[in-house]
């Protein structure tokens, strides 16, 4: 360490006019000390004031430049050294060194800039200010097609530098995207897919950039889908697969890329992962199963990709996903139910699925989760049933299959997401189904729970759906018994409140229900009407800007006036 102190002193005194040889000796001494104890040596370098000297040593024609850049790269591995490097004015001369032709200088300069940018706001700003990112992107472009080891090493360092420069910084990520870095990196991945280190850098860079919306449009114009699927097929190690998954997930949020991934064969890869991991309880396998099945569900969120995989209900992918529902894995049950909910996004698919026995599979799944069940599975299975109940022709079939009874088993649930889907499913099922509406509307337990949920102020969705189901029970059953049950349970005041909702559809539904109450059952209601400024609410709505609501309010008012 005495040598180190001597070297630091000598450097300070002789930096300006010493011979290259004596300088080299001092720099070698520093590098040696850093290799032995990086942190302690870095502290000494900082205290000695030598950092400022380095700025003057970074010269294109100097033979010491690569060593100086190497020392800066080493000290900047310590967090406490990054700001001092910026303050010492090292960034502008380092960025200038990027124009040098010497490979060793480029390599060490790339390392130095990358390390200074790591988790350092000041470092990134200084590199941005000096125009460093632009030069690095151009360098990557010019080196992109070279596959010799030295060029690949440089490319790896430069990709790493860009990654540290833009990590978790939207502004700098946008800047790189605008420089056109995405097509360059995709091309790089294609050419260098044999080089593990470089491939890894590309993937981390993609992971960084893929979160931004603007990047997805650019990615969609490249063959990223094809490259990632090709790369995924080669992977054996869990960590490598996980890295690719981390890029695929944000990219698959884009509908164009969803379709590209399906066409590139990602689905087959995912099904294979599921098959290999489903019976394993190893932590890595459980994680892979979750990621693969979640990604599968995400791909089905795109209309085109979903329809392509449905293949008229005969698709092998659709059949495989069906087989997940009776599985013993909660993760697969969940993914299977969510996938069915996604396939059930148009009438044709829904009708085909109901005719082919899907409803029974979903009811069996719900049955397994009634007592202390898995809430996410309950929610997903109810979502699927709700979607399947939308086409008119499916309602009677699903009612006679016992769906309403299966759903009512979850009335006890205290979980708002389950409550919300349960209400939506029942509302879809009774639409224009008078008999079912009457049967459910006379079910005092159900109506009492609805009235309770109409007051769930913390959960606007549950509150809205409860009101809508109360109104639907009256509108579709047109039954005095149903109205009596709702009156006795204290539900009328909620329909009056619903008539003043900000949602036009809800106002209208409430008014239709109130008009029916007036026509069918006003005697038992006189007291309620007077107590609740019932008429006042209705007459206010006569002047509503929405014609349908205004018209319905007039009709309701006439009904009430006649009866009272």
Structure tokens at 88: 């010492």
Q: Is the pLDDT of residue 17 over 90?
A: no
Average pLDDT over residues 349-359: 94
Residue 418: which H helix or E strand, with range? helix 416-430
Q: How far apart are CA 301 and CA 433, in angstroms?
A: 30
State the residue for tokens 């790089």.
Answer: 188
User: Please, what is the average pLDDT of the chain?
Assistant: 88
- Which range of 60-64, 306-310, 361-365, 456-460 scores highest in mean pLDDT? It is 361-365
Q: How far apart are CA 222 and CA 206, in angstroms?
A: 13
pTM of the model: 0.80
- Which range of 301-310, 389-398, 495-504, 520-529 scores highest in mean pLDDT? It is 389-398
Q: How far apart are CA 335 and CA 275, in angstroms?
A: 14
Q: Is the pLDDT of residue 251 over 80?
A: yes
Q: How far apart are CA 166 and CA 212, in angstroms?
A: 12
Q: How far apart are CA 268 and CA 262, in angstroms?
A: 9
Q: Residue 521's pLDDT is what?
A: 63
Q: Where are the alpha helices (DSSP H) in 211-329?
A: 213-220, 224-234, 238-251, 255-263, 266-277, 283-299, 303-310, 316-322
Q: Is the pLDDT of residue 42 over 70?
A: yes
Q: How far apart are CA 109 and CA 100, in angstroms?
A: 10
Q: How far apart are CA 68 and CA 58, in angstroms?
A: 7
Q: Residue 534's pLDDT is what?
A: 63
**Phi, psi for 408 (deg, rounded to 5):** -65, -20
Handedness of CA 436, 441, 445, 451 (dihedral sign): positive
266-293 pLDDT tens trace: 999 999 999 999 888 899 889 999 999 9
Percentages helix, strand, coil for the chain, rounded to the nearest 5? 75, 0, 25
Q: Is the pLDDT of residue 218 over 70?
A: yes
pLDDT band of residue 498 (cuts 50, 70, 90) is confident
Q: Is the pLDDT of residue 366 over 90?
A: yes
Q: Shortest CA distance to 347 belongs to which of 301, 393, 397?
A: 393
**Cβ(344)–Cβ(353) below 8 Å:** yes
C-alpha separations of 281 from 269, 286, 327, 450 in Å: 20, 6, 15, 41
pLDDT band of residue 316 (cuts 50, 70, 90) is confident
Q: Is the pLDDT of residue 477 over 70?
A: yes
Q: Residue 113's pLDDT is what?
A: 97
Q: How far apart are CA 331 and CA 294, in angstroms?
A: 9
140-189 pLDDT tens trace: 999 999 999 999 999 999 999 999 999 889 999 999 999 999 999 999 99
What is the chain's alpha carbon radius of gyration, rounded to the nearest angstrom? 34
CA atoms in the 13 A half-sphere facing the CB of 223: 10
Q: Residue 1's pLDDT is what?
A: 45
pLDDT > 70 in the chain, percent? 91
pLDDT band of residue 64 (cuts 50, 70, 90) is confident
Burial class (CB in 10 A: 0-12, 13-18, 19+), 319: exposed
Q: How far apart are CA 453 and CA 220, in angstroms?
A: 45
pLDDT band of residue 563 (cuts 50, 70, 90) is low
Lowest mean pLDDT segment, chosen from 17-31, 87-101, 125-139, 145-159: 17-31
C-alpha separations of 217 from 211, 212, 245, 251, 311 in Å: 12, 10, 19, 10, 27
């Amino acid at each position: 360490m005495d040598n180190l102190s001597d070297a630091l002193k000598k450097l300070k005194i002789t930096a300006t006019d010493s011979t290259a040889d004596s300088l080299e000796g001092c720099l070698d001494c520093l590098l040696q000390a850093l290799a032995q104890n990086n942190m302690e040596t870095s502290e000494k370098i900082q205290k000695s004031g030598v950092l400022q000297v380095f700025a003057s040593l970074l010269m294109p024609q100097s033979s010491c430049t690569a060593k100086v850049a190497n020392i800066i790269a080493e000290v900047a591995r310590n967090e406490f050294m990054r700001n001092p490097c910026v303050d010492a004015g090292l960034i502008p001369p380092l960025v200038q060194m990027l124009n040098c032709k010497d490979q060793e200088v480029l390599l060490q300069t790339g390392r130095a800039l990358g390390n200074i940018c790591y988790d350092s706001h000041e470092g990134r700003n200084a590199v941005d200010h000096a125009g460093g990112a632009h030069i690095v992107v151009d360098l990557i472009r010019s080196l992109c097609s070279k596959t010799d080891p030295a060029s690949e090493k440089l490319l790896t360092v430069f990709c790493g530098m860009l990654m540290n420069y833009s990590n978790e910084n939207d502004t700098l990520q946008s800047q790189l995207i605008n420089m056109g870095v995405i097509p360059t990196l995709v091309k790089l991945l294609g050419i260098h897919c044999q080089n593990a280190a470089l491939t890894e850098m590309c993937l981390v860079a993609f992971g960084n950039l893929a979160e931004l919306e603007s990047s997805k449009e650019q990615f969609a114009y490249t063959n990223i889908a094809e490259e990632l699927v090709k790369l995924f097929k080669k992977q054996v190690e869990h960590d490598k697969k996980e890295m690719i998954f981390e890029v695929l997930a944000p990219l698959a949020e884009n509908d164009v890329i969803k379709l590209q991934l399906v066409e590139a064969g990602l689905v087959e890869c995912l099904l294979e992962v599921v098959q290999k991991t489903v019976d394993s309880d190893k932590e890595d396998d459980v994680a892979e199963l979750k990621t693969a099945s979640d990604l599968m569900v995400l791909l089905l969120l795109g209309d085109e990709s979903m329809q392509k995989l449905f293949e008229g209900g005969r698709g092998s992918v659709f059949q495989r996903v069906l087989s997940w529902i009776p599985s013993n894995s909660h993760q697969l049950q969940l993914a299977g139910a969510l996938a069915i909910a996604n396939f059930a996004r148009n009438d044709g698919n829904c009708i085909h699925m109901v005719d082919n026995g899907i409803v029974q599979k979903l009811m069996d799944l719900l049955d397994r989760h009634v007592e202390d069940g898995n809430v996410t599975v309950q929610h997903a299975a109810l979502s699927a049933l709700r979607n399947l109940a939308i086409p008119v022709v499916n309602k009677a079939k699903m009612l006679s299959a016992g769906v309403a009874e299966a759903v009512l088993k979850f009335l006890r649930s205290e979980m708002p997401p389950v409550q919300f889907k349960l209400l939506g499913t029942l509302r879809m099922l009774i639409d224009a189904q008078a008999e079912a509406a009457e049967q459910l509307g006379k079910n005092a337990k159900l109506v009492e729970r609805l009235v309770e949920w109409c007051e769930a102020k913390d959960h606007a969705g549950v509150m809205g759906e409860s009101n809508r189901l109360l109104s639907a029970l009256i509108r579709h059953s047109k039954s005095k018994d149903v109205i009596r049950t709702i009156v006795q349970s204290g539900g009328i005041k909620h329909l009056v409140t619903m008539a003043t909702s900000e949602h036009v559809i809800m106002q209208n539904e409430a008014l239709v229900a109130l008009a029916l109450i007036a026509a069918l059952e006003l005697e038992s209601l006189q007291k309620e009407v007077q107590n609740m400024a019932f008429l006042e609410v209705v007459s206010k709505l006569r002047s509503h800007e929405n014609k349908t609501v205004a018209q319905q309010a007039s009709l309701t008012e006439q009904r009430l006036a006649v009866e009272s």
